[in-house]
Chains A and B, each alone.
Chain A
Amino acid sequence: MKRHFDEELKELHKRILKMATLVQEAIFKSIEALKNRDKVVAQELINSDRQIDELELEIDEYCIDLIARYQPVAGDLRYITTGMKINAELERIADLAVDIAQRVLQLADKPLLKPLEDIPKLSRLAQEMVRNSIDAFVNKDVELAKRVVLSDTDADKLRNLVQDELVDDYMLRDARTADRAVPLLLIARHLERICDHTTNIAEDVIYMVEGKVVKHHPEKLYNL
């Protein structure tokens, strides 16, 4: 039977995709700004975050409205509640992109402490995990979602590498490097947190598709 509700769900899907596109753009810009130490791009990104915040509220309201009016159950309910959670995760990812842009502003006028190696690797991984988690949501792809969850350990490892190098090789040897090392440490932390949020998205996608909760139970991933 054709349902008007399906039209509403399509509209919700469109809005979440719009949110995802804006967030991907924000991460791309933050990483470009970092690579080129570009204060203009960093500032543009910081200014554009408001649009994402407003879209987050709009999507939230839309979901609450759908729940109130249609009282969805089963797959519809899982889709809407997952949409709400993904919406919040995306907004947090955009905030972290802004955090990176702010660190770029701090670093832009100072000479680089060292050529960046692991941070670009981590930023590529973060971008890939964001893209894959969104693709998993769009295509209801549980296998891809599982891959996202499993990549999170790579992100943790890269963050630790950056941290160990900056602390051991620079800050402990020469405390005066701290003003250039700390922003890099924070950037690595922000990128790793972005990866954590994509993991949450992927876990939510698995719940949406399979109805199974894998959050906090990674061993359940292998039984899907």
Chain B
Amino acid sequence: MNAIEVKELNFWYGSFQALKDINANFKEKKITAIIGPSGCGKSTLLRVFNRMNDLIEGVTTRGEVIINGQNILNKDIDLVKLRRDVGMVFQRPNPFPLSIYENIVFGLKIHGLKDNLNEVVEKSLKAVFLWDNLKDRLHQSALSLSLEQKQRLCIARVLAVRPRILLMDEPCSALDPQATLRIEELMRELKNNYTIIIVTHNMQQAARISDEVGFMLLGELVEFGKTEEIFTRPKDKRTEDYISGRYG
């Protein structure tokens, strides 16, 4: 089953075309990695999925992106609901300058969800394996946490509003190798319940954690397929050159 279906997607920043005729299906409860050199359009593609690009002036999008049976590029789409369904985790952990507790419940309040806040905090922190460490200092500032804990908190904050899809834009690039591996373990746990799409420059990370991989170059989705196939026998020479370090 597909969580996201992308059909003939084109995207422009002003007159610059950043995405060209993208077609792809992102499978439910799988991790899909998008790889490619800087400027190839992978983060742009990710931000199409929760319409984050709308915040930039002068952008044009054409094509279809189907989530939950709806084309989310339609003008009348409820963006608040879309961004609740499709959560995003960024490169650098960006907790709000509030307590750990307030960070988690922030989204619930914004979305007007009437959940039991204490329960949500506990469940979300447990999902990212922070509960045992933080349960006694929930009202301390989130800014006092380590980088890895902050990133876990940011993931917990997204989970609190019960999304179906998690977009992760280089979620480990600010972390050391050990913390990176722990976040990867967390992602493997999370994919039991969520669809994850990760943009990463780290090829080994894509190979380790993803079920499927899309390779992008100059705005095109050159190749999309099973991770084991992409990393052992890619079909396109451009993919082979990039993953083997011959590109550039």
Contacts and interface: CB of A to CB of B under 8 A. Distances in A.
Interface of A: 1, 3, 5, 71-78, 210-212
A211 B232 contact: yes
A72 B232 CA distance: 9
B233 A3 contact: no
Contacts of A76: 244
Contact of A5 (B207, B233, B234, B245): B245
Which of A5, A74, A210, A212 gathers most chain B CB within 10 Å?
Answer: A74
A74 B240 contact: yes
A3 to B, nearest CB: 6
Nearest to A2: B246
B243 A74 contact: yes
Interface of B: 203-204, 207, 231-234, 239-240, 243-248
B231 A74 contact: yes
Given A1-B245, A74-B243, A76-B244, 12 more contacts: A3-B244, A3-B245, A3-B246, A73-B207, A73-B232, A73-B244, A74-B231, A74-B232, A74-B234, A74-B244, A77-B231, A210-B233
A77 to B, nearest CB: 6
A74 B245 contact: no
Given A71-B204, A73-B203, A73-B207, A78 B244 contact: no
30 contacts: A1-B245, A1-B246, A1-B247, A1-B248, A3-B245, A3-B246, A5-B245, A71-B204, A72-B244, A73-B203, A73-B207, A73-B231, A73-B232, A74-B231, A74-B232, A74-B233, A74-B234, A74-B239, A74-B240, A74-B243, A74-B244, A75-B240, A76-B244, A77-B231, A77-B232, A78-B233, A210-B233, A211-B232, A211-B233, A212-B233
A71 B207 CA distance: 11
A83 to B, nearest CB: 15
Contacts of A210: 233
